[in-house]
Structure 1
Amino acid sequence: MVVIFIESSIPMDGGPDNIAFLTNLDPEIQNFLHIPLYGALAFLWLRFFYASKQISKSAIFCGLIITILYGGLDEIHQSFVRGRYGGLFDIYLNSVGAVLGTVVFLKPWKGFKKGT
């Protein structure tokens, strides 16, 4: 979450040269990157719950909600950063990523339950 916060705090209209590759990306590609980024965040939350032996339906739901809420809060945060904006479409993409990250995390257990 710290990495996302730091990255989203960098102004898009003149940040450090070492991230110029991000600021020069097509806006559509920048939007697409929300999906894997928040997918990874949801996956890591679920991995945390699993490692601490607290994995349950409520833990899965919590990991998903934490990720989606953080995505929304980060979009609000970005609206105060020069050259950035927060938008509902970005929140939607963050949420899609969170759901996909959750699905990827849960996929191995689906086969075990069926006995395959």
Structure 2
Amino acid sequence: MNIILENIKYLTVNENITITKLESIIGASKGVLSRAIANDTDIQTKWILKIVEKYPQYSCEWLIKRDGPMLKNLENTNLPNPNLEIEVNYKELAESRKETIEIQKKVISYLEAQIENSNL
């Protein structure tokens, strides 16, 4: 069997998912990978790229050539820090809400003034 297809099978075992699930995750039609594995045929490069994008913890060299370790050293990768992203999102949300509150205060003041004028 083709090394890339074998490595894709190892990846699914390591991730505890089926080939069908992997097809779904990378956006491939059902059977794209499983047929290639069953028939020992090549797959399109775009599917390999999708796997690399969805599973950045796996070494590209390992996936394509089985060269080196299967998993990258996560300390040396440029993966985003999920905690940092959440912190930034909360800051953006807080700023947005402050702006909304200020706008609503102005609207309330305007409406209160109109009510006072209509009562006179």
Scaled to the shorter chain, the TM-score interval is under 0.3
Structure exhibiting the larger radius of gyration computed from Cα positions? 2
**Larger relative contact order (C-alpha < 8 A, sep ≥ 6)?**
1
TM-score (norm 1): 0.27
TM-score (norm 2): 0.27
